[in-house]
Every structure is written in structure tokens, then in C-alpha cells.
Amino acid sequence: MFISPAYAQAAAGGDAPSTLMSLLPLVLMFVVLYFVMIRPQMKRQKEHKAMIDALAKGDEVVTAGGLLGKVSKLGDTYIGVELADGVEVQMQRSAVVQVLPKGTLK
């Protein structure tokens, strides 16, 4: 009554190139996404892991919580960080954000 019937159209003979052309923008977007977001993030993760593996006793570090201290104990997954004289905390190695140059803390 109010809706007219819809009829399907016959498929065109050159369907393969149009399918390839419709997928091309999707592929290009994924390639751009990889080089703009995924690859730099993987590089940062690799550098962070190398920094954490290279931690040594006496290194001055900044933690994810913003605390500055000197590494006093090393373990496989945990480290001891001395924040002040006689104040030492245990934290995960992954909580270390940055290793400071020697002599930064006094």
C-alpha cells in the first residue's frame, strides 16, 4: 500500500575491480595506522623493557607515581627503592618510568 516493491538489479560484468577498489581504502588505513600508532608503541615498549632489564643498584629512578629514589635492592620482579635516609619501599620493576643521570638526587 505505502511501500513500493524493490527489485534487485542484475550484477555488472566487471565486479572484480570494483571489489578490489572498495577494499583499497581499508588496507591503506590499516597501513597508515600501523606506521603512525602501532610501530612507535612497540618501539617504546622495547626501549622500556631494555631500561628495566639494565637497572642496577645505585641507579636513581623516577617511578610511575612520581617518586624519586635510589635503587637499593634488585629482584626478578620487585626492586627496593630508597626514597630518603632509612625510608625504603618495594615496588614492581615495571613501575620505573625513567632512570635519572647520576648525581641528580642529593
pLDDT in tens, 87-96: 999 999 999 9
pLDDT in tens, 48-66: 999 999 999 999 999 999 9
Q: How far apart are CA 75 and CA 26, in angstroms?
A: 46
Q: Are residues 19 and 50 in the same domain?
A: yes
Q: What is the mean pLDDT of residues 26-35?
A: 94
- Who has greater pLDDT, 3 or 74? 74
pTM: 0.70
Q: Are residues 61 and 96 in the same domain?
A: yes
- Name the one residue in this structure whose C-alpha cell is 630518603: 84
In a domain, 105, yes or no: no
55 Cβ contact list (under 8 Å, min separation 6) = 61, 71, 74, 79, 93, 96, 99
63 Cβ contact list (under 8 Å, min separation 6) = 69, 81, 91, 95, 96, 97
Q: How far apart are CA 51 and CA 93, in angstroms?
A: 10
Q: What is the mean pLDDT of residues 79-86?
A: 95
CATH of residue 61: 2.30.30
Count of domains in the chain? 2
